Amino acid sequence: MKIKKTLYKLLGDTIEYKDLGDNFILFKHNKPGTYIRKGAKIRVRKDQSVFIVKDNVLYSVLRPGTYYLLPDVFPELKDFFEKGLKSVVDVDLYMLNQKPFANKSWSNKEAVTIKDKELKHVQIRAFGTYSFRIEDAYKFVSEIFINKRKYFTCNILVCLGGYVAKAVAESMQEAKPDIAEIIDSYKTFESAALKKLKKEGLSIGVDFIDVCIDNLSVPMVVQQFIEDMKWRDIESRYKETEA
């Protein structure tokens, strides 16, 4: 048995990625037309995780370390090991990048409705950036990859950006400010949004590091109304000083 294991280890490939870069959150190791050989050595480096799935079922999450793809090491995969000395393992293997990601864009897909004393209801959109790190690989894979079925980096970024947009919108609505106050001090909502995201991120294994609101999109008629209000206020103060 020991001789057989040694042979598998010698014949197996080495799967490792020294640096996953800044452009990938995850990617599939075995592309179409390729396979994973039994006995493959999987080397997981710092700030990485590897997870093994089959038919959208999560079987293993590997943290930093070295592993050999053998039945006695992964008994949960015993049904996927094909027979023969050069057999393959019929599973999908994904690399997960757990380095911090910075300056990713977010925006409100749907306009946020703000109640205003003068204008009643105003719809605005916000734009900005956020930074995050995948803190808990198992939670992230279970919630984002398996449950939400986000398989590509671009889809994951859109999904996480949606969490940010929702937190910003809720922070603005809960504060119940007038639209003029939001336009003048929208940056003050960043800390409230981040606090919400820290809590929300626990359930999906993501640590949101920061949130920036770079700009607001406000209907032109609302902008004009606010400008008129400012001028009326200036005019009334000028008349008071003259009197």
Block mean pLDDT (10 aa), the chain, length 243 = 45 79 89 85 95 95 95 92 76 95 92 71 86 97 96 95 94 79 84 96 97 82 57 50 53
Asked whether residue 172 falls in the same domain as residue 194, the answer is yes
Q: Which of 50, 67, 97 is the last residue of a domain?
A: 97
Asked whether residue 116 falls in the same domain as residue 13, the answer is no
CATH number of 107's domain: 3.30.479.30
Question: What pLDDT is attached to residue 141?
Answer: 97
Asked whether residue 82 falls in the same domain as residue 176, the answer is no
Asked whether residue 142 falls in the same domain as residue 91, the answer is no
Question: What pLDDT is attached to residue 132?
Answer: 98
Asked whether residue 62 falls in the same domain as residue 92, the answer is yes
- Give the residue numbers spanning the domain of 134: 101-238
Q: Are 171 and 128 in contact (CB under 8 A)?
A: no
Asked whether residue 151 falls in the same domain as residue 228, the answer is yes
Asked whether residue 213 falls in the same domain as residue 122, the answer is yes
- Long-range own/partner contacts, residues 198-202 (CB < 8 A, 24 or more apart): 200/163, 200/167, 201/132, 201/135, 201/163
The pTM assigned to this predicted structure is 0.82
Question: What pLDDT is attached to residue 172?
Answer: 85
Question: What pLDDT is attached to residue 45?
Answer: 94
Q: Are 213 and 190 in contact (CB under 8 A)?
A: yes
Number of independent structural domains in the chain: 2
Asked whether residue 74 falls in the same domain as residue 111, the answer is no
243 located within any domain:
no
